[in-house]
Structures are given as structure tokens and as C-alpha cells.
Amino acid sequence: MYRDIIELINEKKFGLLKERLMEIRPADIAELIDELEKKDKIILFRLLPKDIAADVFSFLSTSQRKDIVDAMHETQLNEIIDELYFDDKIDFLEEMPANFVKKILSSSTEEERKLINQFLSYPESSAGSIMTIEYVDLKKEMTVKEALQHIKETGVDKETIYICYVMDAKRKLEGIISLRKLVLYDENLLVGDIMEKDFIATTTMDDQEAVADLFKKYDLLALPVVDKEGRLVGIITIDDIVDVIEQENTEDFQIMAGMEPSEEEYIHSNVISLVKRRAPWLLILMLSATITERIIGVYDEVLQSITILAASIPMLMDTGGNAGSQSSTLIIRGLALGEVDTRDYMKVVGKELRVSLLVGLFLGSVNLLRMLLFSSAGFMVSFVVSITLISTVIIAKVVGGVLPMVAKKLKLDPAIMAGPLITTIVDALTLFIYFNVASALLNI
């Protein structure tokens, strides 16, 4: 892709390169920059007119932005930052070191400085941290015609003009109105008469995940953010919510695999930060798994008298872990999407019991047959293994189904109760059952 551009850079044909870049969408230029050598990406970025440069900049990843910031003069950089939408500007400043932010603040007007500081103070993942201030404000006394004229005059710098906001003199949000309505309705109607007064809004401190849920539920394009007094402080648009949804999913994937979540792209993460995110959970799980050592220690005699029992331990543990992961994943996902509720407790237990009984009997029978036909374990040992297998599947599925709901109830993230933790718990239970069934049935 874009081989010709790399050639143009190499041949230093900057005039032609500039023309060629005009034909490419900002998102594609950003993707191209991601693949270039550091010195080439600086050359290319400097050739962009500043409005396009700002657009491209808003599509770049953190590490790319840092490369560019390092190489740019302060004045050039200020020009680009000025062109950014306010939410992209805040997003960028959040990633930068404190002394860089200070420099930017010192070259801003006092009003803007105040605003930037206010926005930087919203906690990460809050509605405040993803909102923007470039919205269209209308008055309820305006006619539709006047409103459209007002949009025409002020709309060019707004992040969206498709949803407009009506405030009173104290900036309290009174209603919202879509451009759809303004275009479709009679031009002599009053905004105040046709605006939506029973609108959905969020507050600055709400969690971005809850905000995303509102967008999903009501198919919104934009959502107003108000302060405690109901004054409009910003809006959130759907394009940022799409990013939030992917980010929250990534976080769930990472937590479910037993890691500290992070927004850092894998390719650009350094080794130490990857170690720091992975080691703690691995350590906790490793130490928890040592309980299995104790169980095996206690039943050492059973194992010593029939060492063939040891051979089935890995298979039993794996199957238990897998069965538990299936259930916990379904419940964690159901809770995240709002399809499962903590009140559905008994329904989940009932369903998992029935499913696990069927799955367990199926796997147990196959295993019994397999061991009888292909192993030298003999009937009684095969029978003990199969009975344990059935019990393991049942326990794993019920534990896997219930623990995420318990976590939610305790206001913990249900995603913690995924494969790794469930496996550790189920392993201990499996061994306990295994040795007890063995000593009972094999008369050890």
C-alpha cells in the first residue's frame, strides 16, 4: 500500500508528494505514518497543511504522536494543537508528560487554560474525559428557520451539528433537537415547541461504560453531559463511543486472561510494562494452585498404591477448567451486555446444573469407553476417573456460572471470575473428589 509515497520520500520529490497526500484520507495517512521509519514520518507530517495535519494527528496512536512531538518546533506544534477538536486536544494532553502540558497551558488564553485544567481533572474513563465542547447551542425562542441560519453561521467548527442543544440564560439544558427535525419540520415553528424536553443526559463523573450502554440502548448519535445543576458542560459523540466500546471489550478480554488491563497497543508496549501487567496475577494464581499440592500430599498414600491414578490428573483438571471457563464466559458476557441480571441467580444455577449433567454424562461415557478400550487402567480405575469427570464438569459449570454473579453483587468486576481463577478453584475441588472417590471405590 502506498509504495509510490515511500518512493517519493526516498527520491525527495516533496512537491509531488504533497500533491499525492492531498488525495489520501487522513485516517489512511495516519495508518501510513504508523508504518514509516521515524525520520520519514516526520518529513511526511511536516508536508501536511495544518488543518489536515491536525486531522491526521487525531488518528495517530500515542507512540506515533510522541515521535512527532519530539521532532516538531513549538510553534508548529501549537498550530496543530489549536486545530484539534477539544476532546482530541484533551486526549492528547493526557498522554503527554506534565512539563509539556505546562508549556501548552502557558501559551493559552486564561479562559482556555481554565477549561483545559477542568477537563484534565476528570477521571480517566469518566464521561467528562471523553466529552467535547464544540456543540451547537440554540435558543427556544428561535424559529426553525432562524435555528438553521444559526447553524449555518456557527456550525463549521462543531464536532456535530446533527444534534443541537437548547439552554436557558443560566446554561441549564432545557431540550435537545436533531437537525433531522429542523430540516423536516415547518420553518416557522419554534424550537421550544418541537424540541425534545424529556432527553437523556449523563453527568461528568459517570463511567464511560454506562455512557456507552445508553448509546447502545437508545441508538444515540450524541449525548449531552451536564453538571450537578443541570448545566450543559459538553457532549459525547458516537465515534468516541465506538472507541470506548472496543476499549471496554479489550479490558474485559485482558482481565479474563488474568492480566492488568491497559490501553497500550501490544506492538508499542515495552517489555517491562508487559511483565508488570502479567506477573502479579500469575503469581497469585500460582500460589493459589499450591493448594493442589497439599491435597495430593494428604492423599499421597492413595497415589502411591495406585500410581496410574496420577496419569488422569491433567485430563481431569483441563476438562474441569474448560467446562468452567465456558460457563463463566457466557455469564460475564451476559452481565456486560445486560442480558443477564444478578437477580437471575436461580435461573443460572438451574440451567448450568442441567447443561452440566448432560455434558458430564456425555464426556464421562466417552471417557469410560476410551479408557476401557485403549488404556491398561482396568474397569474400576476407569470408572473412578469417569465419575470424577462427571462431578468435575458439574461443579465447574455451577461455580463458573455463579462466581461472576457473586462478583457483580459484591461490586467487583465479574471479568475477574474467568478461566484462570475458575480453573484454580475447580482444580482443587477436582483433586479432592478424585481421591475421595478413589479411596471409597478402590478400598485404599
H helices of 121-167, in order, are 127-130, 144-154
Work out which of 274, 406, 416, 442 binds a copy of itself, going by CB under 8 A. Answer: 274
* Residue 317 near a copy of itself by CB under 8 A: yes
* Residue 369 near a copy of itself by CB under 8 A: no
Q: How far is the CB of 409 from a copy of itself (least distance, A)?
A: 17
Work out which of 245, 349, 406, 437 binds a copy of itself, going by CB under 8 A. Answer: 245
**Range 378-397, binding a copy of itself (CB under 8 A):** 393
**Range 277-306, binding a copy of itself (CB under 8 A):** 278-279, 281-283, 285-287, 289-290, 292-293, 296-297, 300, 303-304
Residues in contact with a copy of itself, counted by CB under 8 A, come to a total of 109
Residue found under cell 465419575: 387
Among 8-16, 23-31, 99-107, 166-174, the segment contacting a copy of itself (CB under 8 A): 23-31
Distance CA 140, CA 259 (A): 51
CA geometry: angle 102, 103, 107, nearest 5 deg? 115
**Range 399-418, binding a copy of itself (CB under 8 A):** none
CA geometry: angle 291, 292, 294, nearest 5 deg? 65
Work out which of 256, 394, 395, 438 binds a copy of itself, going by CB under 8 A. Answer: 256
Distance CA 312, CA 392 (A): 13
Beta-bridge partner residues of 136: 164
* Residue 312 near a copy of itself by CB under 8 A: yes
Distance CA 369, CA 381 (A): 12
Between 9 and 393, CB nearer to a copy of itself: 393
Taking residue 28's Cβ as centre, other Cβ atoms within 10 Å add up to 15
Nearest to 417 by CA among 331, 318, 305, 300: 331
Inter-residue contact 6 to 17 (CB < 8 Å) = no
Inter-residue contact 195 to 140 (CB < 8 Å) = yes
* Residue 441 near a copy of itself by CB under 8 A: no
Work out which of 169, 267, 346, 373 binds a copy of itself, going by CB under 8 A. Answer: 267
Q: How far is the CB of 72 from a copy of itself (least distance, A)?
A: 24
Q: How far is the CB of 387 from a copy of itself (least distance, A)?
A: 15
Work out which of 142, 259, 433, 438 binds a copy of itself, going by CB under 8 A. Answer: 259
Nearest to 121 by CA among 159, 99, 102, 94: 94
* Residue 16 near a copy of itself by CB under 8 A: no
* Residue 1 near a copy of itself by CB under 8 A: no
Nearest to 362 by CA among 318, 334, 393, 384: 393
| Contacts with a copy of itself, 327-366, as mask; x by CB under 8 A | -xxxxxxx--x-xx---x--xx--x--xx--xx--xx--x
Nearest to 308 by CA among 375, 367, 244, 366: 375
Work out which of 133, 257, 442, 444 binds a copy of itself, going by CB under 8 A. Answer: 257
Distance CA 389, CA 320 (A): 8
Distance CA 276, CA 293 (A): 27
Taking residue 169's Cβ as centre, other Cβ atoms within 10 Å add up to 6
* Residue 145 near a copy of itself by CB under 8 A: no
Q: How far is the CB of 19 from a copy of itself (least distance, A)?
A: 15
* Residue 218 near a copy of itself by CB under 8 A: yes
Encoded amino acid at 126, one letter: S
* Residue 275 near a copy of itself by CB under 8 A: yes
* Residue 215 near a copy of itself by CB under 8 A: yes
**Range 156-195, binding a copy of itself (CB under 8 A):** 156, 161-162, 179-180, 183-184
